[in-house]
Amino acid sequence: MTAFEPFEAFGDLDEISERLESPDPAVRRLAVIDLVETSSGEAIPLLVQAAGDPDAAVRLQTARALGEFDGVDVAKALVGVVTDSETAVAQAAADSLAELRDSAASVVLLPLVTHSSPFVRTAILRALKALQVGASLGPAIAALGDHDSAVRVQAVGVIGYLKKTETLPSLIHATRDENADVRLAAINALSFARNEAAAQAAADALSDREWQVRAVAAETIGRIGQISVATALIQSLGDSYWQVRQKALQSLGKLHARPAVDAIIPFLDDALPSLRKDAAAALGDIADPKARDALGTRTQDEDPDVRKTVIWALAQIEARN
């Protein structure tokens, strides 16, 4: 089908409605597909009806179809399906909830933040994150104390998307959560706060036991932009994981951290081309003249991207000194 095919190609809503009453679940499932193809808001009541179909395959198709529409009625239907006994149906409803963009739907979702099912609480918070409504802030902060880590991850997401300075203490506390996924989400969420407290929390996470958390912490420091924690980033250049070292190099460049130049220069000879390139880029961002000689001897690097970045870095030093 193309976007320009006439609606009549799929039958009118009355005809589709009749097929939704068919005793054959395959016919009902195809009717749901045709409802989506109409792209008509008038299809929503019929999809709401199909959400309660006795056949799991029809409910699954309906849960997916509802993700193509928006509004309070859609939210109500999906809330009913997200508790479905079939895991695939419930997951499809959760995914469609996350596609909602009408903030009015939050009225339907907010009461379910304390639902008895961790799966439902997680799905609701995930949906509220995308809606970015202020009323979700209090429930999200309360959900940081939830016993289920998946719920706490989504709660952090809600808070991070709202970007309210007053939530910073809660996010910093979450960076010390027992679950690595929660810590990672919280550190990433700190990026909006351009202040010392956020930078220090990210710097503290550079010693986290999980390398993925350390990598995100190194990247977040660059986004926050506080030079005061550059020393911690310099120390991370010795991390056992190259991914952490790479993020540290990139952030030191963003911070224009001149004290890091001597620690960055050795990376111009790293075995990994990506680290050599990031080292050259960082030196170019910092533009300290004392890196000129080290860069000058690397203009013939075997990797073309590294050579290009080295030449760019040298140009930056010349232009800014």
Q: Is residue 10 pLDDT above 80, yes or no?
A: no
Contact present, 279 and 248 (Cβ < 8 Å): no
Span 212-226, average pLDDT: 97
Rounded Cα gap, residues 56 and 93, in angstroms: 12
Q: State residue 7's pLDDT score.
A: 40
| Cβ-based neighbour number of residue 111 at 10 Å | 11
Rounded Cα gap, residues 275 and 282, in angstroms: 10
pLDDT band at 194, cuts 50/70/90?
confident
Q: Is residue 11 pLDDT above 80, yes or no?
A: no
Domain over 1-100 is classified CATH 1.25.10.10: yes
Q: Is residue 5 pLDDT above 90, yes or no?
A: no
Q: State residue 141's pLDDT score.
A: 97
pLDDT band at 39, cuts 50/70/90?
confident
Percentage with pLDDT > 90 across the chain: 93
Q: State residue 40's pLDDT score.
A: 86
Q: State residue 95's pLDDT score.
A: 98
Q: State residue 229's pLDDT score.
A: 97
Give start-end residues of each CATH 1.25.10.10 domain in the chain: 1-100, 260-321
Half-sphere exposure of 113 (CA within 13 A, CB side): 25
Return mean pLDDT, the chain: 95
pLDDT in tens, 45-86: 999 999 999 999 999 999 999 999 999 999 999 999 999 999
pLDDT band at 158, cuts 50/70/90?
very high
Domain over 260-321 is classified CATH 2.60.40.10: no
Q: What is the DSSP letter of 44?
A: H
Span 231-237, average pLDDT: 98
Q: State residue 3's pLDDT score.
A: 36
pLDDT in tens, 89-119: 999 999 999 999 999 999 999 999 999 999 9
Rounded Cα gap, residues 258 and 143, in angstroms: 42
Contact present, 230 and 197 (Cβ < 8 Å): no
Span 295-306, average pLDDT: 96
